[in-house]
Structure 1
């Protein structure tokens, strides 16, 4: 859980700095884009889980 909180805080700080410097956001600018990344991650984890079941 500590790693997740550190990742969120780091991402927040990076996003804030990018906005402060008026740079484009280094992530998808819409919730749909973020959910796409989450979907890719979940698909990867599902594949790993299926592989462990079949091994």
Structure 2
């Protein structure tokens, strides 16, 4: 993962958050720390399974 891509993603997120706030639209993300930590947990769980190289292809198993 490139640092440039990470910085661009952060800047895009900051801009999107500023636009949401400017127009007083609720953000499509949890505004509290426990909700944010839940999202971090989902990401970390995904990466752990990816690193362990385990899992099944659900679409293939269902024949789709």
Would you say same fold, with TM above 0.5? Answer: yes
Instruction: Give the corresponding residue for 1:7.
Output: 9
TM-aligned CA deviation for residue 36 of structure 1: 0.8
More helix per residue: 1
Q: Which stretches in structure 2 are left out of the alignment for 5+ residues?
A: 55-64
Give the gaps of 5 or more residues in structure 1. Answer: none
Q: Secondary structure at the match of 2:29?
A: coil
Q: Cα deviations across residues 9-39 of structure 1 (Å, max 9, x unaligned)?
A: 1001000000000100121111111111111
Structure 1 moving runs of 4+ over 6 Å: none
Question: Which of 38, 41, 47 in structure 1 is aligned with 2:40?
Answer: 38
RMSD: 1.2
Length-normalised TM-score, structure 2: 0.74
Structure with more contact order per residue of length (Cα contacts < 8 Å, sep ≥ 6): 1
Q: How many residues are treated as equivalent by the alignment?
A: 52
Question: Within 2, Cα distance between the matches of 1:34 and 1:7?
Answer: 17
- 1:47 is aligned, of 41, 46, 49, to 49
